[in-house]
Amino acid sequence: MLGIGLSGFIAAIALALILTPLVKKMAVRFGVVDVPNQRKVHTRIMPRLGGVAIYASFTIGLLLILPWLPDGMLSAYDRNLISALLTGGTLIVLLGALDDKFDLPAKLKLLVQIAAACIVVFGFDVKINLLNIPFGSAMQPLGEWLSIPLTIFWIVGVTNAINLIDGLDGLAAGVSGIAIGTILVMAILMGNETVIFLSAILLGSILGFLFFNFHPAKIFMGDSGSLFLGFALAMLSMLGFKQITVVSLVTPLLIIGVPLSDTFFAIVRRWIHKKPIFAPDKGHLHHCLQQLGFSHRKTVLIIYGIAAFFGTCAVIQSTLTNSGWGNWITFIVIAALVFLLQIGAELIGIVDQTRRPVLDFLARMRMKTETQTRSK
């Protein structure tokens, strides 16, 4: 299976290298371009629709690999997963491509995303049926009343999380590639053959496109790319909910830790400042790092490093969950990451430049300790 996965990976890279320049020409011809404004970082008109190249490379690569799979390798659930990924992903790419051209309303995009998630759940019966809750007794079965809305919420949430971080050359593609690479490593460790070749093909598509998208970018992925990658990530990361006694609820959250935390802080930031949740701003992680003086390229590489750190934590946490200390390890990982996220958010001002409750508390404690030491 690793050989098939490697073949799919190489084929997808080659397809992306061939198709991306063609999509670039198509975007320019039909006027699907990104015009600079006060909120955007780039200073010249850029072709969009790069997501179409990623989607086409993945789809063609998958169709080329499927005939080579051993008979009986794919279970009924695996076939449904692939069909749901292709069907829902096609709808999502069409939505993104239309948004790249016509700038669709946020509510309409949300409705179509919910429709794509409903296709996955009701059309192909792919949903989160089991959940490993830390300190719970192994995998907990979920009833339909919880399974269906949780799956829809997960798909829509992850889809939008990737879309929100697409603000710098190569950022969304690279972070998504790291997340997909994490899923690939976990699939290899778990022996999940279907997720191995799906992740390998998708990773190849991303890397081939990234050749043209890394700074200085020659093409943007647009919403067609960020929405499709978010949708694909949501589908593949549901692996974390399906593997009995191997991973917990925390693992999929760690895999997409960067876009998820950036989305969370964006919601809090807009709520504090009494702005609409879907209103764009320049307060995202990449904006804050650039305001601290980091260059475009260094900002992207720093966020790559953070994403890789999250991915490493996900792999370590998932491999240790089965041990006798698994629940405590999960608890420690969560507590440490939440603390580090809060400290990092306050240092860079991702929520508010003036509100630093944890840092202020630590400063007061340090001053108190120093005063007590001097008094002695």
Domain ranges of the chain: 2-375
pLDDT above 60 (res 39):
no
pLDDT in tens, 216-273: 899 999 999 999 999 999 998 876 555 433 345 567 778 888 988 988 888 888 888 8
- Token duo for residue 2: 């690793």
**Percent over 70 (pLDDT), the chain:** 88
pLDDT at 136 exceeding the cut of 80: no
DSSP state of 67: G
Q: Is the pLDDT of residue 142 over 80?
A: no
DSSP string, 304-320: HHHHHHHHHHHHHHHHH
Q: How much is the pLDDT for 244?
A: 34
**Over 50: is that where the pLDDT of 54 sits?**
yes
What are the phi and psi torsion angles at 162 (to 5°)?
Answer: -65, -40
| Chain-centroid distance, C-alpha 149 | 20
Q: Residue 206 above 90 pLDDT? A: yes
> Per-residue pLDDT tens for 155-195?
999 999 898 888 899 999 999 999 999 999 988 888 888 88
Place of tokens 């792999």: 315
Q: What is the pTM of this model?
A: 0.88
Sign for the CA dihedral angle at 242, 243, 249, 255 comes to negative
Q: What is the pLDDT of residue 318?
A: 74
Query: Is 60 exceeded by the pLDDT of residue 133?
Result: no
Q: pLDDT for 90-115, tens place per residue?
A: 999 999 999 999 999 989 999 999 99
Angle between helix 50-65 and 76-102 (nearest 10): 160
Q: What is the CA radius of gyration of the chain?
A: 21
Q: Does pLDDT of 323 surpass 80?
A: no
Element of type H or E holding 141: strand 139-141
Cα–Cα dist 119/125, whole Å: 9
